[in-house]
Structure 1
Amino acid sequence: MNYAIVLRLLSYILLTEGALLLLPAVASLCYGEWFVMGVFLFTAALSALAGALFHRVKAKSQIFYMREGFVTTALCWLLISVVGAVPFVLTGCIPNPVDALFETVSGFTTTGASILPAVADLPKGILFWRSFTHWVGGMGVLVFLLSLLPLTGGSHVNLMKAESPGPQVDKLVPKVQSTAKILYGIYLALTVIEFIFLLFGRMSVFDAMLTAFGTAGTGGFGFLNDSFASFSPYIQWVVTIFMILFGVNFNAYFLLLMRRFRRAAASEEVRAYFLIIAVAVGIITCNIYSMYNGLGEALRHAAFQVGSIITTTGFSSCDFDLWPTLSKEILVMLMFVGACAGSTGGGIKVSRLLLLGKSLKKELKQALHPQVVAPVRMDGKLVNHETIRATNVYVAAYIFIFAASFLLISLDGFDMVTNFTAIAATLNNIGPGLNQVGPMMNFGGYSNPAKLVMIFDMLAGRLEIFPMLVLFLPDTWRRF
């Protein structure tokens, strides 16, 4: 383990977070929240000071391998969450440090699960910081730093592989730094476009910013107690469309910008993603039609919730916990499906499910005809054995973590549906579950140990599991 380079990179993380903490301080200044502004300035100074101390460590080698990539990624997300929780505690908005850490991890991992029973009365600076953590965590803070860090060799791609969602990471252009810039450029552009559309719907500038942050990062922190139930149909449709757009693989947007329309349209994952959404919306609309005033309203709520759940955003336009069993079962299934790889969404990812289905088809063919060669292809390209193996291992680790977490939080005595959907919501970075953690409820009733389990799940889900697991291996920490 090259400890020096890990500390060096963590210093960049702390310095960056120190700069980001100035934005909610400005928001507090605009609303005359002097104490809250002081807390954010103090936290920013603390983060910058710690970053400056870490930066004094000199690394003899700038080479960055996969082991350092996993460790740096995991420690980075733990560190930004701990520092990000400080304003919640110091302002007294969330005095319990475990609750504050839960809220912050939920923000950065774009989960949107909250322990707060009511958010409408929180200071504006705190509301801004909650939603802004979604935007920072959506594309990944390390992806942003990749465009700036002076690393050598294959170092950039090792960091990107450790943080980016999906079974494999593709470079859009030959240089990883340029890829990171392109990804953030697309991310920022889509955020600004949604912000403008929301303003046309007569949403205030502050509310439009928070909504755009939450939608872009597919996060889900609301700033009203009923999430989006009280907003106009226009606002709900805008948010629905952009939630779905942010769940698309960003490689497809790059191909569209390069006018490679045929190649973008050939993506099996994107086609399957939209097909799943269309089928789910159709079934749920028919199932809840009698509950609303006409087809239009039923379709709007069905589309909003399907888009919210499959992209793991977690916004709510209604209390879907009151829907018929079939509709709720479909939403629970979508929690596991998730969005596309290379998007800001969570879940298992559509591409992994496609690979699993293709692998199953291959095995069935070879069971009937042992001599047949049946390669697995995705988008017309041969999928190598390493990608299939990594997908199978990921699913195995996912099932193990889900089962262990489910049993551990069951000690708190909640019913099975609550516990099952709580783990599904946190491990898949969704936010709301059902029953006691439903869209109009919160996670505050769980004990501190149960919340720590779900904090781990949120981080594991956002970082594709392996960076968090390698922290527990003794070999990870041995010097080379």
Structure 2
Amino acid sequence: MKLNLKIIIHFFGLLLLCNGGFMLLSTLVSLIYEDGVTLNLFFSGLSVLTLGAVFMLTSLNHNKEMNKREGYIVVAFGWIIMALSGTIPYLFTGAIPSFTDAFFETMSGYTTTGASILNNIEALPNGILFWRSLTHWIGGMGIIVLAIAILPLLGIGGMELFAAEAPGPSADKLHPRIADTAKRLWLIYFGYTAIETALLKIAGMPFFDAINHSMATLSTGGFSTKNASLAHYNGQPVIQYIIIVFMFLAGMNFVLSYFAFKGKIQKILRDEEFRLYFWFVAVFTVIAALTIYFFADPKQSSITHPMVWGEFESAFRHGLFQVLAIVTTTGFVSADYTLWTPFLLVFFFGLMFLGGSAGSTAGGVKVVRHLLMIKNGFLEFKRTLHPNAIVPVRYNKRAISGDIVFNILAFFILYMLSFIIGSLGFSLLGLDFQSSVGVAASSLGNVGPALGNFGPVDNFSLMPIIGKWWCSFLMLIGRLELFTVLILFTPFFWRNR
């Protein structure tokens, strides 16, 4: 089947129009705060809007049928086009003059990784800080899902795109029409962001910081307006607890939030993935909190605003905060956890491979995949004893097809291979072992803070240029769950069938 290029170009144009519109929103913020970059941001938005209009006008007469192949191309290259165009505000304002650095920061934003090359975040104009947070917020729920809600206006069905974008082994639909699903997800997403912003403002955070941190929390991104990240608010525990609650919500399947608003609480409590997600967070928090309380050395805290040592509430809060920040791949920092104890260093490194729930904005492997792999592993013991028995893997009391189990196992193997190859790539660039494995795990899992020279109180400014591009690639394949991008490198994908 011949590739439908015109619909791909048309969709790229739509994405650029959305991106340009968000840049104009940043222009409005710049104008309100009079930060001196209003015109630069305006021309950034205008140039992207113009490019988007050209793309759409040159592809008006397109075949409106989109198959799975076009869906994967639009998703993978759509993110790249958004990242490329997203560099323009940084370049036009001079906030990040290097194209490589600007692309790294933008890709980190859209993939909700939260890794940064910026050394002095607080010196940036407010319009740029807002744009930086917006890249998180757009990427959090998915650029493609945003556009799916608009597709019916163009007469295009969005199921192929949703299948490629869906963050997990399956995509639960809230409504038979996929566009209505996207709208409901975005309504919940927007509502959570507005509620968190209001609560943070009431708790004492300035409004501008509140809205930026809310966008970073709900997207599980981690960009902060403060150099010390959330450690800046170590003296205001209420602010950290509010962010803890919304990190937990962002790491849940957003479909469960929809059920909660509909009053179907039992449906949430019966969900196996949610229960395992909750217990993971609870058990890991107890381990981290007790280790901090009994074994961490207060002299080893090198962050600007150190935690209060020797108090159980402080140990519990920082343990819970960092467990959630890493499990949900948000990447906020309340202290330099790499200096607490060697045990916690390895512990938090392991959590980078966990991830949030399927259908959340979190990155990583995802809890449901771990759950099904664990179940299948135990069932292998039964199959060994009873080789003729048919023992299916069950999830939420339903039998899971063998194809799904094989897909999950293939994903995990591919994920670990990507991690190993990613680590080898960084080691070839001269990074030490701890930095290599830390950056690979962090980039692939969209976590943000890594280990070694790129830990929670450091940034990626000293990463070699090739390393930044390698990071960006790992961020992209991690955010789009490997298959969506890597399938483009297979020869059979491009054959006309």
Are 1:293 and 2:297 an aligned pair? no
Q: CA RMSD in A?
A: 1.5
1:380 alignment partner in structure 2: 397
**Do the aligned partners of residues 270 and 4 (structure 1) sit closer, same or farther apart at CA in structure 2, a change above 3 Å counting?**
same
Structure 1 window deviating more from structure 2 (8-17 vs 410-419): it is 410-419
| Post-superposition offset of 1:59 | 4.6
Structure 1 consecutive aligned stretches of length 4 or more whose deviation exceeds 4 Å:
151-154
Instruction: Give the Cα–Cα distance (whole angstroms) in 2 for the partners of residues 60 and 76 of structure 1.
Output: 18
State the one-letter code of the partner of 2:46: A
Are 1:262 and 2:263 an aligned pair? no
Q: Does the 8 A contact of 1:63 with 1:151 survive in 2?
A: no
Are 1:220 and 2:237 an aligned pair? no
Q: Does the 8 A contact of 1:63 with 1:152 survive in 2?
A: no
1:281 alignment partner in structure 2: 285
Q: Does the 8 A contact of 1:229 with 1:318 survive in 2?
A: yes
Q: 1:105 aligns with which of 83, 90, 107?
A: 107
Q: Does the 8 A contact of 1:227 with 1:317 survive in 2?
A: yes
Q: 1:429 aligns with which of 430, 446, 451?
A: 446
1:457 alignment partner in structure 2: 474
Are 1:332 and 2:349 an aligned pair? yes
Q: Does the 8 A contact of 2:41 with 2:92 survive in 1?
A: no
Instruction: Give the Cα–Cα distance (whole angstroms) in 2 for the partners of residues 303 and 467 of structure 1.
Output: 33
Are 1:31 and 2:33 an aligned pair? yes
Q: Does the 8 A contact of 1:215 with 1:246 survive in 2?
A: yes
1:47 alignment partner in structure 2: 48
Task: With the length of structure 2 as denominator, give the TM-score of the two structures.
Answer: 0.94
**Do the aligned partners of residues 334 and 348 (structure 1) sit closer, same or farther apart at CA in structure 2, a change above 3 Å counting?**
same
Aligned length: 479
Instruction: Give the Cα–Cα distance (whole angstroms) in 1 for the partners of residues 9 and 495 of structure 2.
Output: 15
Q: 2:251 aligns with which of 247, 267, 280?
A: 247
1:348-369 Cα offsets, whole Å, 9 max, x none, are: 0000001111121222211121
| Post-superposition offset of 1:461 | 0.8
State the one-letter code of the partner of 1:250: F
Give the secondary structure class of the aligned counterpart of 1:460. Answer: helix
Task: With the length of structure 1 as denominator, give the TM-score of the two structures.
Answer: 0.97
| Post-superposition offset of 1:151 | 7.9
Q: Does the 8 A contact of 1:70 with 1:466 survive in 2?
A: no
Are 1:149 and 2:151 an aligned pair? yes
State the one-letter code of the partner of 2:245: I
1:363-393 Cα offsets, whole Å, 9 max, x none, are: 2211121011111110111112222122122
| Post-superposition offset of 1:89 | 1.9
Instruction: Give the Cα–Cα distance (whole angstroms) in 1 for the partners of residues 15 and 446 of structure 2.
Output: 22
| Post-superposition offset of 1:261 | 2.1
| Post-superposition offset of 1:212 | 0.4
**Do the aligned partners of residues 348 and 154 (structure 1) sit closer, same or farther apart at CA in structure 2, a change above 3 Å counting?**
farther
1:2-23 Cα offsets, whole Å, 9 max, x none, are: 1111111111101111111111
State the one-letter code of the partner of 1:286: L
State the one-letter code of the partner of 1:127: L
1:14 alignment partner in structure 2: 16
State the one-letter code of the partner of 1:405: G
Q: 1:362 aligns with which of 379, 393, 397?
A: 379
Are 1:72 and 2:89 an aligned pair? no
Percent sequence identity over aligned pairs: 39
Q: 1:418 aligns with which of 435, 445, 450?
A: 435
Q: Does the 8 A contact of 2:152 with 2:179 survive in 1?
A: no
Instruction: Give the Cα–Cα distance (whole angstroms) in 1 for the partners of residues 408 and 231 of structure 2.
Output: 38
Instruction: Give the Cα–Cα distance (whole angstroms) in 1 for the partners of residues 232 and 475 of structure 2.
Output: 28
Give the secondary structure class of the aligned counterpart of 2:80. Answer: helix
| Post-superposition offset of 1:326 | 1.6
Instruction: Give the Cα–Cα distance (whole angstroms) in 2 for the partners of residues 25 and 152 of structure 1.
Output: 28
Give the secondary structure class of the aligned counterpart of 2:226. Answer: coil
Are 1:196 and 2:198 an aligned pair? yes
Give the secondary structure class of the aligned counterpart of 1:112. Answer: coil
Instruction: Give the Cα–Cα distance (whole angstroms) in 2 for the partners of residues 159 and 19 of structure 1.
Output: 22
| Post-superposition offset of 1:118 | 2.0
1:318-343 Cα offsets, whole Å, 9 max, x none, are: 11111112222221111100100000
**Do the aligned partners of residues 4 and 154 (structure 1) sit closer, same or farther apart at CA in structure 2, a change above 3 Å counting?**
closer
Are 1:344 and 2:348 an aligned pair? no
1:405 alignment partner in structure 2: 422
Give the secondary structure class of the aligned counterpart of 2:352. Answer: helix
Instruction: Give the Cα–Cα distance (whole angstroms) in 1 for the partners of residues 283 and 157 of structure 2.
Output: 42
- Which protein has greater RCO, CA pairs closer than 8 Å, 6+ apart? 1
Instruction: Give the Cα–Cα distance (whole angstroms) in 2 for the partners of residues 359 and 62 of structure 1.
Output: 41
Are 1:233 and 2:234 an aligned pair? no
| Post-superposition offset of 1:241 | 1.2
| Post-superposition offset of 1:257 | 2.2
Structure 2, unmatched stretches of 5+, are: 299-308
Q: Does the 8 A contact of 1:280 with 1:330 survive in 2?
A: no
Give the secondary structure class of the aligned counterpart of 1:169. Answer: coil
Structure 1, unmatched stretches of 5+, are: none
Describe how 1:86-97 pairs up with structure 2 within 5 A. 86-97=88-99
Give the secondary structure class of the aligned counterpart of 1:228. Answer: helix
Q: Does the 8 A contact of 2:107 with 2:476 survive in 1?
A: yes
Q: Does the 8 A contact of 1:2 with 1:479 survive in 2?
A: no
Instruction: Give the Cα–Cα distance (whole angstroms) in 1 for the partners of residues 40 and 275 of structure 2.
Output: 47
2:125 alignment partner in structure 1: 123
**Do the aligned partners of residues 183 and 158 (structure 1) sit closer, same or farther apart at CA in structure 2, a change above 3 Å counting?**
same
State the one-letter code of the partner of 1:373: I
Q: Does the 8 A contact of 2:338 with 2:344 survive in 1?
A: no
1:433-465 Cα offsets, whole Å, 9 max, x none, are: 122111110111111111111101101111111
